[in-house]
């Protein structure tokens, strides 16, 4: 394994070659990296990324610059070298979970591929991760130590890739937990989670009846939160009672008659109480409010 040689191009680098090497660093912790365009060195390498004009995963060749490219996804986004590496090693990086592989491809890999290949339709505006990686290149006013800058970019990309994988794994696990909570709810309008779990996408996909979510906060208190009409919306399916708006502590306790009620946000989308029993009382009161 220590004798493996990986080649990518030298000089100015981009997100696709940086993330490709970052992915390989996770899969193959030990290898010699050579940044060159020397045809002889490319031919001798075990793995070649983003240079060489050839795509042959069995032979360790992962370029996309050749005539005809290296294929595209069903949605039309072509593969850059990162996408080609992801096809080869994604399952290994994601603990053999195809769902995580697809989620990371959708959220990270395909976006980097699209930008690298000039396929910008549907790519969000603003500072992209691809632009951020490019900022690691030395400016014209700095000494051109491209290899050192490349290594720094790879370290950054390794961390980002790990977090994308972790996030995708967490989202998939959360979906199963929330789906079970919806199925087992005593009242389909109030969904109770035993621990905080990202819930909005799953609730909107699986329940038209859910109005409120109940879950413990990190401090152990209990939260009652409204379900928005759609993810990202500030309009709720059913807001909390107007009389609660902005109240906290004694004022909130007096208004609700619940001695451990804590607060209600002025926006009427979230409230808190010390105990589970009390938060469920608040949920019941909110359901009955006209």
d(CA 116, CA 130): 8
Each residue of 141-200: pLDDT tens digit?
Answer: 887 788 899 999 999 999 999 999 998 998 898 999 999 999 999 999 999 999 999 899
Mean pLDDT over 71-94 rounds to 94
Q: Give, rounded to a whole angstrom, the gap between the first and last alpha carbons of the chain.
A: 68
pLDDT score, position 70: 93
**Over 70: is that where the pLDDT of 61 sits?**
yes
Token output for 284 = 């019941």
pLDDT score, position 93: 95
Each residue of 94-153: pLDDT tens digit?
Answer: 989 999 999 999 989 998 999 888 877 655 555 578 888 888 888 878 877 888 999 999
Mean pLDDT over 246-272 rounds to 95
Comparing CA positions, the residue from 192, 174, 173, 172 lying closest to residue 182 is 192
Mention every residue, 6+ apart, whose C-beta is less than 8 A from residue 15.
82, 112, 115, 116, 129, 130, 133, 134, 157
pLDDT score, position 237: 95
Instruction: Specify the pTM.
Output: 0.71
Q: Worst-scoring range by mean pLDDT, 57-66, 167-176, 178-187, 267-276?
A: 167-176
């Amino acid at each position: 394994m220590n004798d493996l040689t990986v080649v990518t191009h030298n000089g100015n680098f981009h997100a696709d070659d940086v993330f490709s090497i970052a992915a390989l660093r996770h899969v193959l912790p030990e290898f010699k990296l050579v940044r060159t365009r020397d045809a002889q060195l490319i031919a001798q390498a075990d793995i070649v990324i983003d240079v060489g004009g050839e795509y042959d995963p069995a032979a360790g060749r992962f370029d996309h610059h050749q005539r005809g490219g290296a294929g595209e996804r069903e949605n039309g986004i072509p593969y850059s070298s990162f996408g080609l590496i992801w096809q080869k090693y994604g399952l290994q990086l994601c603990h053999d979970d195809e769902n995580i592989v697809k989620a990371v491809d959708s959220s990270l890999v395909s976006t980097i591929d699209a930008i690298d290949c000039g396929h910008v339709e549907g790519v969000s505006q603003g500072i992209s991760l691809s632009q951020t990686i490019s900022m690691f290149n030395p400016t014209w006013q700095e000494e051109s130590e491209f290899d050192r800058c490349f290594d720094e970019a790879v370290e950054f990309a390794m961390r980002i890739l790990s977090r994308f994988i972790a996030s995708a794994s967490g989202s998939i696990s959360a979906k199963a937990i929330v789906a079970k909570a919806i199925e087992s709810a005593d009242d389909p309008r109030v969904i109770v989670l035993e621990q905080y779990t990202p819930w909005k996408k799953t609730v909107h996909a699986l329940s038209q009846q859910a109005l409120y979510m109940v879950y413990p906060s990190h401090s152990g208190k209990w939260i009652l939160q409204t379900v928005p009409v759609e993810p990202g919306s500030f309009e709720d399916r059913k807001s909390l009672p107007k009389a609660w708006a902005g109240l906290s502590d004694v004022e909130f306790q007096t208004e609700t008659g619940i001695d451990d009620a804590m607060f209600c946000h002025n926006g009427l989308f979230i409230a808190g109480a010390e105990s589970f029993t009390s938060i469920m009382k608040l949920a019941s009161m909110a359901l009955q409010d006209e």
